[in-house]
Amino acid sequence: MTAFSTILNIPKALLGTLETLGFSTMTEIQQQSIGPILEGKDILAQSKTGSGKTLAFGIPAAIRTNVETNKPQTIVITPTRELAEQVAMELRKIAAYKANLKILTLYGGVPLRAQAGSLAKGAHILIGTPGRIQDHLAKGTLTLESIKTLVLDEADRMLDMGFYDEIVKIGSNMPKNRQTLLFSATFPPKIEALAKALLKNPLTIKVDTVQ
C-alpha cells in the first residue's frame, strides 16, 4: 500500500482533498498508472471493476488541467450515461481542490441545445457517451482541437455495444499528438485492435487485484 504523497509533484491541496475523502493509499492500478500518465505516456490498462480506475486517470487529468483557458483538455468516453455520471461524480469530488476546474457530461436524454450552451461557456474535462459526443461534433457545438488526453473507460463494454467505429472517428477529430489512455476490465482481441488504432507505443498494465 503506497501513499498518494509518494507521487512526484502531487499538489498539497489535492493530497488534502484525498485525505478528506478517506483516500490515503493508492490502489494497485493507481500506483502503476498515475506516474506514467503524468509523464505523458499512452496507457493500455486492464484491471477489475472496483479497482479504482476512475481516479487512476482522474487525478492526472485534474493535475494537468490548465484553468487559465476554458477549452476542453481531457475527454473521457464511457459506454452509458450512468457511467458518465458516475465518473463525473468521482472526478468532481477531487476536482474541488482546483478552483474553476469545470467538468461537463455529454449524454443522450438531455436536450442537445442545453448541453451546447454549457459547452459554449467552457469546460475542461468532458465525460460522455460516443453517440452524444458524435452528435455535438456533427452539429459543430463541440471541437476537440484543444484535447490533450483521450480516455476510453470500460473499453470492453463499449466494444460489446458496437461503438468501435464511433470511437475511432471521435479520435480522428483530435490532435494526433494527444495522449490516449485505454481502461478495460477484460482484454478481448478487439481491444488490441482498438489500441492499435488509437494508442502510440503504450505502456501495458495488467492488475489482478482490486486493492
53: contact with Mg ion by CB under 5 A: yes
What is residue 144's DSSP assignment?
-
Stretch that binds ligand ADP, among 37-45, 48-56, 72-80, 110-118 (CB under 6 A): 48-56
* Residue 124 to residue 132: CA distance in whole angstroms: 17
Q: Show the cell assigned to 173.
A: 477529430
Closest CB 206 distance from ligand ADP, rounded Å: 13
27: contact with ligand ADP by CB under 6 A: yes
* Residue 38 to residue 135: CA distance in whole angstroms: 31
Which one among 7, 10, 14, 26 touches ligand ADP, defined by CB under 6 A?
26
Print burial letters for 118-145: b (CB count within 10 Å at least 16), e (below 16).
Answer: bbeeebbbbbbbbebbbbbeeeebbebe
Specify the residue, 89 or 197, whose C-beta has the smaller distance to Mg ion. 89
Which one among 7, 23, 34, 79 touches ligand ADP, defined by CB under 6 A?
23
Residue nearest Mg ion, CB atom distance: 53
Strands (DSSP E) found in the chain: 43-46, 74-77, 103-106, 125-128, 149-152, 179-184, 203-206
The option from Mg ion, ligand ADP, none interacting with 142 (CB < 5 to 8 A, set by class) reads none
Q: Show the cell assigned to 158.
A: 463499449
Closest CB 104 distance from Mg ion, rounded Å: 19
Specify the residue, 119 or 158, whose C-beta has the smaller distance to ligand ADP. 158
81: contact with Mg ion by CB under 5 A: no
